[in-house]
């Protein structure tokens, strides 16, 4: 008994996992869910159609039996009138018994025929209702899958727009930009280091000293020239 309970629990667990697995697949592929639902409705329609056909056949059989009984009753009434008219009482008595029996049968057949007609109408309405549900489900499938496709396209576009900064081309361009900036910085650093070098500074100082000496000589020449008497000769 315990083992049966255990295997029953395992079976229920497996069905649960299978149900979740199928649900995940149908969520990822809604067309599968719609196809499964439509196929289920079509199968239900097929079974209901067979049942409706059996109900209609029963209605027709009861209707045919009722019509036959009605014809028999009419014939018995005609024969009974003829027997009474010809004073054939023995035949009349038999015909009266038949008439009573056929009228009882007609009464039962009338009730059955009424119920059969009601059952047939209800079955046909149910069949038409299921057919309508199948048509609506097919239309819904087309409409919802079109919406799903449109939404997926929009999501894809949004993801592409949001993901532009991580695209390979953009990443490569950013690397080029960084490389250019680094190269410029290295060049600037080389210039700064060159200006800070002692030899370079010394050469600049010497150049500045030469310039100062030349300027001093120039000033002395100007002073000497200015000190000469006007019209005098330069010594």
Domain finish residue from 112, 142, 162: 162
CA gap 222, 173 in Å, rounded: 64
Averaged pLDDT for residues 177-202: 75
In a domain, 2, yes or no: no
Instruction: Mention every residue, 6+ apart, whose C-beta is less than 8 A from residue 170.
Output: 164
Instruction: Mention every residue, 6+ apart, whose C-beta is less than 8 A from residue 84.
Output: 92
Averaged pLDDT for residues 44-48: 90
Tokens standing for residue 163: 């993901």
Q: What are phi and psi of 136, to 5 degrees?
A: -65, -40
Least confident of 12-26, 33-47, 200-214: 12-26
Tokens 């049966």 correspond to 4
As for how many domains the chain has, the answer is: 2
Claim to verify: residue 14 and residue 129 sit in the same structural domain: yes
Domain finish residue from 140, 162, 184: 162
What is the reported pTM? 0.47
The pLDDT value recorded for residue 18 is: 40
Claim to verify: residue 81 and residue 188 sit in the same structural domain: no
In a domain, 47, yes or no: yes
pLDDT tens across 104-136, in order?
888 888 888 889 999 999 999 989 999 999 999
Query: In the Cβ-directed half-sphere of 219, how many Cα atoms lie within 13 Å?
Result: 6
In a domain, 150, yes or no: yes
Claim to verify: residue 94 and residue 203 sit in the same structural domain: no
pLDDT tens across 87-102, in order?
998 999 999 999 999 9
Claim to verify: residue 51 and residue 134 sit in the same structural domain: yes
In a domain, 232, yes or no: no
Tokens standing for residue 149: 């496709």
Tokens 């045919």 correspond to 64
| pLDDT band of 20, cuts 50, 70, 90 | very low
Q: Is the dihedral of CA 170, 172, 177, 181 positive or negative?
A: positive
Claim to verify: residue 145 and residue 216 sit in the same structural domain: no
In a domain, 142, yes or no: yes
Give the domain range for residue 222.
171-227
The pLDDT value recorded for residue 53 is: 92
């Amino acid at each position: 008994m315990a083992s049966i309970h255990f295997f029953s629990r395992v079976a229920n667990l497996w069905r649960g996992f299978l149900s979740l697995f199928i649900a995940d697949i149908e969520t990822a592929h809604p067309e599968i869910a719609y196809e499964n639902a439509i196929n289920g409705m079509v199968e239900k329609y097929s079974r209901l159609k067979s049942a409706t056909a059996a109900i209609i056949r029963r209605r027709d059989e009861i209707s045919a039996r009722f019509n036959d009984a009605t014809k028999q009753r009419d014939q018995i009434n005609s024969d009974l009138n003829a027997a009474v008219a010809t004073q054939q009482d023995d035949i009349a008595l038999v015909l009266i018994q038949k008439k009573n029996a056929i009228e009882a049968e007609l009464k039962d057949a009338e009730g059955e025929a009424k119920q059969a007609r009601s059952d047939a109408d209800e079955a046909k309405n149910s069949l038409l209702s299921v057919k309508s549900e199948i048509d609506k489900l097919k239309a819904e499938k087309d409409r919802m899958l079109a919406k799903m496709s449109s939404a997926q396209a929009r999501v894809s576009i949004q993801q592409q727009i949001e993901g532009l900064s991580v695209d390979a081309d953009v990443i490569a361009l950013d690397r080029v930009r960084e490389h250019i900036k680094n190269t410029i910085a290295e060049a600037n650093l080389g210039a700064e280091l060159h200006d800070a070098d002692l030899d370079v500074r010394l050469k600049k100082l010497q150049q500045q000293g030469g310039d100062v000496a030349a300027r001093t000589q120039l000033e002395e020449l100007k002073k000497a020239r200015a000190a000469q008497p006007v019209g005098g000769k330069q010594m």
